[in-house]
Chains A and B, each alone.
Chain A
């Protein structure tokens, strides 16, 4: 399997554990990633919060590059995925806007590809059985909740590959790694990541709720797929207690697969996950 790959700005800077682990884990599963040539920023929240035309045209430039090869476009960052998927949705469903965007970006939309998220590719294309058979070191004893956040499930008609109110695919992947996945009701509640820098008091309150609910569910860590959630959840934990580790599901896949790169990822976290990973009987984290 071969995919176009759009790393995005976050996953190549503050969220680089995501980019590094997605590349390593998909390579281990036999997926070839071809980085989108000369990709540009999707515009993120700032474009869609302020200029609706720009919010479609900026990601559309990347769609134009992706359709040249016709391979599906994988976006590991939930925010990039949401913006690329929104632009893609507009191009497929709104003929008037499609014409406007084609003029702004100077291309002709063919739609010979789909925008994909790693969770979707792992479960639907690679399959949980293939994941299970690749596990060298089951993550038995590690307790965590799976956290989707907003952008992978809402608005469902545009982005969702899983149930928007009760998504399960992330938990299925963690289960396939042998983890103890705790049940909770907050997998799609907002962490305030979009306000992380502009109104951090909101992020502090929402992150505080999420970590409290995760603890009540019996979890020792939160597993996410979004670099904005990950950063907000690590940065905005307050109080005197020890902070809860927040890791990407692909990092845990790498650990279970026995990839040697994992130790380099843990070092990059603001909340060091290694004490938590010490719960693994075999160690070696």
Chain B
């Protein structure tokens, strides 16, 4: 048990998890609860109980689709979606192993490209993501038509104000 965990999550998410009285409304409306080990309300309960390793070691925080349905419906106005964002940030910052490694790998890669060009470059994103996750052949049936239809630019566009973008990354500790 980690007695500081709920305070850490509350601070980063700007929520008050103790307000949750487990009505399960978040889980009832969650489109991906069936794919989760715990589901949103039990994740909140585990945070209340200081179960840091169980929460951050679970795939639930990466299965969350950020649809914000839970946040919209919570009777106690807890943004469970913001809690999930905070949990993902803590998991990445503290290097937790996860059964869903593709999502954090994708986010790191995505932000790496934005930090380099200032905009997304889908061709780089897809190529490196495939190499990193060893899913070389995944989605070729839609990827190739998209390239042929001119929907995936070959060359990246670099914004002129890259010094500003780099400054933002630096100042926000990214």
Give the contacting residue for B71; candidates A44, A155, A165, A268; CB below 8 A: A155
Q: Which residues of chain B have C-beta atoms less than 8 A from A50's C-beta?
A: 85, 88-89, 92, 104, 107-108, 111
The answer on a CB contact under 8 Å between A192 and B32 is: yes
Asked if A199 is at the interface (CB within 8 A of a chain B CB), the reply is yes
Give the contacting residue for B66; candidates A41, A48, A199, A200; CB below 8 A: A48
Q: Which residues of chain B have C-beta atoms less than 8 A from A202's C-beta?
A: 32, 35, 63, 65
The answer on a CB contact under 8 Å between B66 and A194 is: yes
Give the complex CA separation of A46 and B79 in angstroms. Answer: 18
The answer on a CB contact under 8 Å between A13 and B68 is: no
Name the distance in Å between A77's Cβ and chain B's nearest Cβ.
11
The answer on a CB contact under 8 Å between A13 and B110 is: no
Asked if B153 is at the interface (CB within 8 A of a chain A CB), the reply is yes
Name the distance in Å between A230's Cβ and chain B's nearest Cβ.
11
Stretch at the interface among A54-62, A117-125, A126-134, A135-143: A54-62
The answer on a CB contact under 8 Å between B168 and A61 is: yes
The answer on a CB contact under 8 Å between A52 and B167 is: no
Q: Which residues of chain B have C-beta atoms less than 8 A from A49's C-beta?
A: 66, 85, 88-89, 103, 107
Asked if A105 is at the interface (CB within 8 A of a chain B CB), the reply is yes
A58-B63 contact given A16-B151, A40-B161, CB 8 Å threshold: no
Q: Which residues of chain A have C-beta atoms less than 8 A from B159's C-beta?
A: 38-40
Q: Which residues of chain B have C-beta atoms less than 8 A from A15's C-beta?
A: 151
The answer on a CB contact under 8 Å between A198 and B172 is: no
Stretch at the interface among B20-28, B44-52, B112-120: B112-120
Give the complex CA separation of A86 and B63 in angstroms. Answer: 22
The answer on a CB contact under 8 Å between B67 and A54 is: no
The answer on a CB contact under 8 Å between B172 and A104 is: yes
Asked if B12 is at the interface (CB within 8 A of a chain A CB), the reply is yes
The answer on a CB contact under 8 Å between B146 and A14 is: yes
Give the complex CA separation of A14 and B122 in angstroms. Answer: 8
Q: Which residues of chain A have C-beta atoms less than 8 A from B104's C-beta?
A: 50
Give the contacting residue for A150; candidates B68, B102, B129, B164; CB below 8 A: B68
Asked if A29 is at the interface (CB within 8 A of a chain B CB), the reply is no
A54-B168 contact given A47-B111, A194-B65, A197-B129, CB 8 Å threshold: yes
A40-B106 contact given A13-B151, A190-B67, A270-B142, CB 8 Å threshold: no
Asked if B31 is at the interface (CB within 8 A of a chain A CB), the reply is yes
Asked if B3 is at the interface (CB within 8 A of a chain A CB), the reply is no
Q: Which residues of chain A have C-beta atoms less than 8 A from B164's C-beta?
A: 40, 61, 105-106
Interface flags, B87-99, vs A, CB<8A=1, else 0: 0110010000000
Which B positions have Cβ atoms within 8 angstroms of A? Answer: 12, 31-32, 35, 62-63, 65-69, 71-72, 79, 81, 85-86, 88-89, 92, 100, 102-104, 106-108, 110-111, 114, 118-120, 122, 129, 138-139, 142, 145-146, 149-153, 159-161, 164-165, 167-169, 171-174
